[in-house]
Amino acid sequence: MVEDLRLDSLEGVGPVTTRKLSDAGVHNVMDLIVRGPVEIAEITGMEKDTTEKIVNKARQHLVEGGLIAKDFVSASEIYKHRQSIGRITTGTNCLDTLFDGGLETQALTEVYGEFGCGKTQFAHTMSVMVQKSKEEGGLEGSVLYIDTENTFRPERIVSIAQAHEMNPEKVLDNIIVARAYNSAHQTLILEEAGPIIEENNIKLIVADSAVGLFRSEYLGRGTLSTRQQKLNHFVHLLSRIAETYNCAAIATNQVMASPDVFFGDPTRPIGGNVVAHTSTYRIYFKKSGKKRIARMVDSPHHPEEEVIFALGEAGVIDPEEAEKKTKKTTKKATAKKTKKSEVETTVETPEVETTVETPEVETTVETVMEIESDDFEPLEE
Ligand SMILES: Nc1ncnc2c1ncn2[C@@H]1O[C@H](COP(=O)(O)OP(=O)(O)OP(=O)(O)O)[C@@H](O)[C@H]1O
Ligand SMILES: [Mg+2]
């Protein structure tokens, strides 16, 4: 491990350069890699030749310390490296199956879906699960939660922690919440996050929602390209941070109704291609009565599959858990001599059965992808 990540530990980086860099929000060697030479030249006013040299030195320094991979590596080394990627359990069997063991570190996972489909609940649940011991499927790490919609609820964290028999106060202490007020602020939080991630053993970064502020600030088609450019910067930064600092990252993205769609699901992810291209994994959440469907849409190595999950006091839960709860409620209701007909409506959840078989989901996602590419001009990387 490299003990010294201070900027002046790099050969040729003296106090003047160190000050220039830290004034621009680049605080350590990791930050140099995350931001890259072009951006560093832009924000510090330094020559690009110089910043390239500095960033190369930083890369060498981290490679020597075993913190990042070499530029040229054999496939077997990559394979070995991938074995060391951390996984965070979702606390459910169904979603763990979908994620092939859990949410991965060094990757950006985009969760998109309509309002109320459980994106925020999922982010809350993962904020608790990442703190579990390694034996229990966690990473014993903390969380940086970027809340752009003011929907972070400590009360939910408390009940999720209690449901998993964890100490709620400790769990709350390990979540650093950054409330972002506008898209520039949201980006700034991430740009400044390096030292916080390092000092607090952050293993999960949440951006909920990653896209909302950009969308509300850049309205109309004329501003689309600027919006996508800025969003591109944010999402790339998030992805690079996840890779460099070995943490998991979740970006949520809403879908919106598209009136020009006649078949399938008339929705598409707001972030468009930018988020889709940058994220390593994309999960589509869809409401289905009281249950939810999660589908792995885009992954370099997972099959395109889907599972059913539910939402409850414990955050995201297995559908069987939800059924047990319903039965319990039913029993209580019967004890109270509630009218038979009422009870039956609660117990029976026929919607779920039908949804599993429906081919609509298939068409849905495809439609989403198609429309998305029609509607958003892809940005040049
Ligand atoms: N304590 C709870 N117990 C059970 N279900 C809950 C609880 N709290 C919230 N929910 C469920 O979570 C849903 C809201 O989910 P969530 O806030 O994650 O949606 P979202 O996808 O983030 O939506 P948006 O796009 O509006 O942000 C509610 O409709 C409800 O079904
Ligand atoms: Mg939400």
The string of pLDDT tens digits covering residues 245-264 is: 999 999 999 887 655 545 55
pTM of structure: 0.77
Three-class SS state of 16: helix
Q: Where are the beta strands (DSSP E) in 148-239?
A: 175-179, 202-208
Under DSSP, the state recorded for 6 is B
User: What's the mean pLDDT in 145-161?
Assistant: 97
Task: Indicate whether residue 194 lines ligand 1 (CB < 6 A).
Answer: no
In contact, 364 and 268? CB cutoff 8 Å: no
Label residue 63 by pLDDT band (50, 70, 90). Answer: confident
Task: Indicate whether residue 115 lines ligand 1 (CB < 6 A).
Answer: yes
Three-class SS state of 285: strand
CA distance 276 to 274: 5
Label residue 221 by pLDDT band (50, 70, 90). Answer: confident
Three-class SS state of 163: helix
Of residues 125 and 35, more confidently modeled: 125
pLDDT in tens, 307-328: 999 999 999 999 998 888 767 6
Mutate to test the pocket of ligand 1, among 92, 110, 120 (most ligand atoms within 8 A of CB): 120
Label residue 333 by pLDDT band (50, 70, 90). Answer: low
In contact, 306 and 376? CB cutoff 8 Å: no
Atom of ligand 1 nearest to the CA of 118: 18
Task: Indicate whether residue 311 lines ligand 1 (CB < 6 A).
Answer: yes
- 369: number of CA atoms within 13 Å, CB side? 14
Q: What is the pLDDT of residue 363?
A: 37
Of residues 373 and 173, more confidently modeled: 173
Phi, psi (5° rounding) for residue 172? -60, -40
CA distance 158 to 314: 9
Q: What is the pLDDT of residue 339?
A: 46
Q: Residue 377: pLDDT above 80? A: no
User: What's the mean pLDDT in 323-350?
Assistant: 54
Label residue 265 by pLDDT band (50, 70, 90). Answer: low
Please return the burial class of 337, using the count of CB atoms within 10 Å of its CB with bins 0-12, 13-18 and 19+: exposed
User: What's the mean pLDDT in 195-211?
Assistant: 95
Which residues are CB-neighbours of 277 under 8 A, at least 6 positions away? 378, 381
Cα 128 to its chain centre, rounded Å, is: 14
In contact, 42 and 52? CB cutoff 8 Å: no
Spacing, Cα 273 to ligand 2 middle (Å): 21
In contact, 294 and 96? CB cutoff 8 Å: no
Q: Considering the chain, what is the average pLDDT of its residues?
A: 82
Q: How many CB atoms lie within 10 A of CB 149?
A: 15
Mutate to test the pocket of ligand 1, among 117, 121, 255 (most ligand atoms within 8 A of CB): 121
Task: Indicate whether residue 316 lines ligand 1 (CB < 6 A).
Answer: no
Tokens found for residue 231: 């969003």
Q: What is the 3-state secondary structure (H, E, C) of 295-337?
A: EEEECCCCCCCEEEEEEECCEEECHHHHHHHHHHHHHHHHHCC
Label residue 286 by pLDDT band (50, 70, 90). Answer: very high
Task: Indicate whether residue 181 lines ligand 1 (CB < 6 A).
Answer: no
Report the share of the chain in percent with pLDDT over 90: 54
User: What's the mean pLDDT in 155-166?
Assistant: 97
- 333-to-3, 329, 349 alpha-carbon distances in Å: 61, 6, 17
Which range among 173-182, 270-279, 295-304 has the greatest average pLDDT? 173-182
Of residues 278 and 19, more confidently modeled: 19
Which range among 127-136, 190-199, 276-285, 336-345 has the greatest average pLDDT? 127-136
CA nearest to 30, candidates 72, 62, 78, 56: 62
Spacing, Cα 184 to ligand 2 middle (Å): 20
Task: Indicate whether residue 312 lines ligand 1 (CB < 6 A).
Answer: yes
Q: What is the pLDDT of residue 74?
A: 81
Q: Would you say how long the chain is, in residues? A: 381
- The ligand minimizing its distance to the Cα of 124 is 1
CA distance 276 to 315: 25
Atom of ligand 1 nearest to the CA of 113: 21
Plot region of 307 (φ>0 → left; ψ -120 to 50 → alpha; else → beta): beta
Under DSSP, the state recorded for 359 is T
Phi, psi (5° rounding) for residue 252? -95, 155
Atom of ligand 1 nearest to the CA of 159: 1
In contact, 356 and 289? CB cutoff 8 Å: no
CA nearest to 106, candidates 236, 1, 197, 241: 241
Spacing, Cα 147 to ligand 2 middle (Å): 9
Report the share of the chain in percent with pLDDT over 70: 80
Task: Indicate whether residue 290 lines ligand 1 (CB < 6 A).
Answer: no
Task: Indicate whether residue 148 lines ligand 1 (CB < 6 A).
Answer: no
Q: Residue 376: pLDDT above 60? A: no
Q: How many CB atoms lie within 10 A of CB 135?
A: 7
Name residue, tokens 């429906």. Answer: 358
β-bridge mates for residue 20, sequence order: none
Task: Indicate whether residue 117 lines ligand 1 (CB < 6 A).
Answer: yes
Task: Indicate whether residue 253 lines ligand 1 (CB < 6 A).
Answer: no
DSSP assignments along 224-243, one per residue: HHHHHHHHHHHHHHHHHHHH
Label residue 189 by pLDDT band (50, 70, 90). Answer: very high
Name residue, tokens 């890779």. Answer: 243
Residue nearest to atom 29 of ligand 1 (CA): 116
User: What's the mean pLDDT in 320-344?
Assistant: 61
- The ligand minimizing its distance to the Cα of 291 is 1
pLDDT in tens, 69-96: 777 778 887 787 777 799 999 999 999 9
Spacing, Cα 270 to ligand 2 middle (Å): 14
